[in-house]
Amino acid sequence: MTESTRPMRRQDIRRENEKAILLAAEKVFAEAGFGGATMQLIADLAGLPKANLHYYFATKEELYRSVVQNIFEIWLQAANCFDAARGPVDGISSYIDAKMEISRRHPDGSKVWASEVMHGAPVLQDYMESTLREWTDGRVEIIRRWIEEGKMDPVDPRHLLYMLWATTQHYADFGHQIETLNGGKSLSDRQWREAKENIKRVILTGIGAQPA
């Protein structure tokens, strides 16, 4: 760690430990699910004694909640690409890029999020009913406008969004399956690019998207 450096300031200690715990927790929750994860495992992975975890996060639930909220933030940020766009080609392309990047860089987070939703969103139900709903309604409106302006075919905006979420998250959540079918090797840079291009091409063509 930072053994040979000068002693850390309190603030730094707090930040670094919380970060290490959250990172370890994300991995363990992703691999074992909430029920299968143990504080001991997370502690070991973070390189801290278990009691120290409880110093920063009172309960397993609280730690889990923090992890899930982190993911949700990242998830929502990817959405900004959508707003600045002038048309479906631009907006959907960059959204797919962003979400595929998340699937590649934060597969654990993606899995935790998927798990949370699959189990009925016990922790994030309120977020889904407020933040997520507002975000979705906003994008639906944008897509609807694109359709009105003749920039794409009249596809149901909600189902289009579900399709975008599904196809991109699949590469994280079902990454193990994809790897297995890829001869046990994780996708190469090239394969990730192909995956992205394929999704973009099929969807953009599929909705009859017109540039600009």
Indicate whether 2 belongs to the interface with DNA (CB under 7 A).
no
Q: Which stretch binds a second copy (CB under 8 A): 4-12, 55-63, 68-76, 126-134?
A: 126-134
Max CA separation in the chain (angstroms): 63
Stretch near DNA under the rule CB under 7 A, chosen from 57-65, 92-100, 142-150, 192-200: 57-65
Among 19, 58, 197, 211, binds DNA (CB under 7 A): 58
SS (H, E, C) 122-185: CCCHHHHHHHHHHHHHHHHHHHHHHHHCCCCCCCCHHHHHHHHHHHHHHHHHCHHHHHHHCCCC
CB 91 within 8 A of CB 211: no
Q: Which partner in a second copy, DNA, none is near 149 (CB below 5 to 8 A by kind)?
A: none
189 binds a second copy (CB under 8 A): no
180 scored as a contact of a second copy (CB under 8 A):
yes
Q: Which stretch binds DNA (CB under 7 A): 37-45, 146-154, 169-177, 181-189?
A: 37-45
Binder of DNA out of 20, 52, 136, 163 (CB under 7 A): 52
φ/ψ region of 150 (left if φ > 0, alpha if ψ in -120 to 50, else beta) reads left
The token pair at 69 is: 């909220």
Task: Indicate which single residue of 23, 136, 142, 210 sits in contact with a second copy (rule: CB under 8 A).
Answer: 136
Q: Residue 152 in contact with residue 210, Cβ under 8 Å?
A: yes
Binding site for a second copy (CB under 8 A): 30-37, 111, 114-115, 117-121, 125, 128-129, 132-133, 136, 153, 155-156, 158-160, 162-163, 165-167, 169-171, 173-174, 176-178, 180-181, 194-195, 198-199, 201-208
